[in-house]
Amino acid sequence: MNFINKNKGISLYIHIPFCKKKCLYCDFPSYTNSENLMNSYAEALCCEIYEAVKNKKIKTIFIGGGTPTYLSLDAWEKIKNTILKINKDENIEFTVECNPDSLTMEKLLLFKSMGVNRLSIGLQSFQNKLLKELGRIHDVKQFEEAYNNARKLNFNNINIDIMFGLPKQSIKDFKETLQAVIKLKPDHISSYGLIIEEGTAFYKNSKELELPQEDDEREMYHIAIELLKKYGYNQYEISNFSLPGFRCRHNLTYWNLDDYIGCGAAAHSFVDGIRYNNSKDINEYIKLININGNAEIEEYKNTDKDFIEEFMFLGLRKIEGISKIEFFQRFDMNINDVYEKTIKKHIQNSLLIDDGNNIKLTSKGIELSNTVMSDFIL
């Protein structure tokens, strides 16, 4: 069986684990009050990147966090020198995740000089009162300034992240956010429903949070789909919408179950069927890199069953669904040999469609995607 898709080069994720302040809903691996580690972190990161991408051609880079734009210019210069030296595909997609308050002109110019050609800006909401509720440290004006500066410098592939289902958010608020964002004509919009994750400040105070009713939240999701469609944004994944030609190729790597290398504290890699996890702790990460040249603390080899399940869970997130031919090419068997009963059941429930080539979620299936996906566990 050919579980690994060998034809598509490799993607590189780079994690920057620093934030100025922790947002109240955040469970990402990011730390505050660790600015003194930025330089030594960048040095360790550069060593890891060099080693990890040796003899490989990189097709996409995504620098995420944390808050990459919060990293000092000195530390960024180090990363730039490394990135300029590694072997990259000429059509590379190179994204940096940005926060509006730290996306300065200096940083934008530096990104240009190192070949960044896609920005992903975390706006979340167009209402300052809601940004405060989330514990975000920027306001709408800072966002607009950063966005306009990026456009002035000819960044012509920009994503804006927004959220719905927020405490004290009305349907009207969310509609206004969508309309204001659409007016700016970004090339890509990610619209995520808030999830109260364990360990976050929101989780600890969850009883006091004035969250929208479930029906209202569902309505917000529908409004996003309809409004974005009206303005030419094609929904290609449960939470992601793009103008034609602007799908995020890096994230498609994950949904297609292709190989990727992750560098930095808490980063994961998936290479030749093996999953590797780096240490989350910044100090330990730096120490491990300095001693071993890598910071892996866990390794897991996917079983045949893992491959098939992950191919289904991740693939069904894409609106185009799972190609039956690709399933056959990867696993040397027909999708119905494994999932005939499950697929039939969900077609009968109107949660899945088989269009002849692909198996995909219906609109109702997208709403109940977690239930559908859990049925694909073997």
Chain residues in the site for ligand SF4 (CB under 6 A): 19, 22-23, 26, 28, 30, 65-67, 99
Residue 120 has which token pair?
């992903």
- Asked whether 282 and 274 are in contact (CB, 8 A), the reply is no
Residue 25 has which token pair?
């809903």
The CB-of-114 to ligand SF4 minimum distance in angstroms stands at 22
The CB-of-352 to ligand SF4 minimum distance in angstroms stands at 33
Strand pairing class (58-65; 118-124): unpaired
The CB-of-32 to ligand SF4 minimum distance in angstroms stands at 8
Q: Of the two residues 99 and 251, which places its CB atom closer to ligand SF4 in the complex?
A: 99
Report the b/e string of 196-211 with b at 16+ CB within 10 A.
Answer: beeebebeeeeeebeb
The CB-of-21 to ligand SF4 minimum distance in angstroms stands at 7
DSSP letter (8 states) at residue 18: B
Cβ neighbors of 341 (< 8 A, separation 6 or more) are: none
Kindly provide the residue ranges of all beta strands, DSSP E only, lying in the chain, ordered along the sequence.
10-16, 58-65, 88-98, 118-124, 158-164, 188-193, 234-237, 240-242, 260-263, 268-271, 274-278, 296-301, 322-323, 352-354, 358-361
Q: Of the two residues 23 and 372, which places its CB atom closer to ligand SF4 in the complex?
A: 23
The CB-of-70 to ligand SF4 minimum distance in angstroms stands at 8
Cβ neighbors of 290 (< 8 A, separation 6 or more) are: 44, 47
Q: Of the two residues 206 and 329, which places its CB atom closer to ligand SF4 in the complex?
A: 206
Q: Of the two residues 65 and 186, which places its CB atom closer to ligand SF4 in the complex?
A: 65
Q: Of the two residues 95 and 235, which places its CB atom closer to ligand SF4 in the complex?
A: 95
The CB-of-230 to ligand SF4 minimum distance in angstroms stands at 29
Q: Of the two residues 68 and 365, which places its CB atom closer to ligand SF4 in the complex?
A: 68
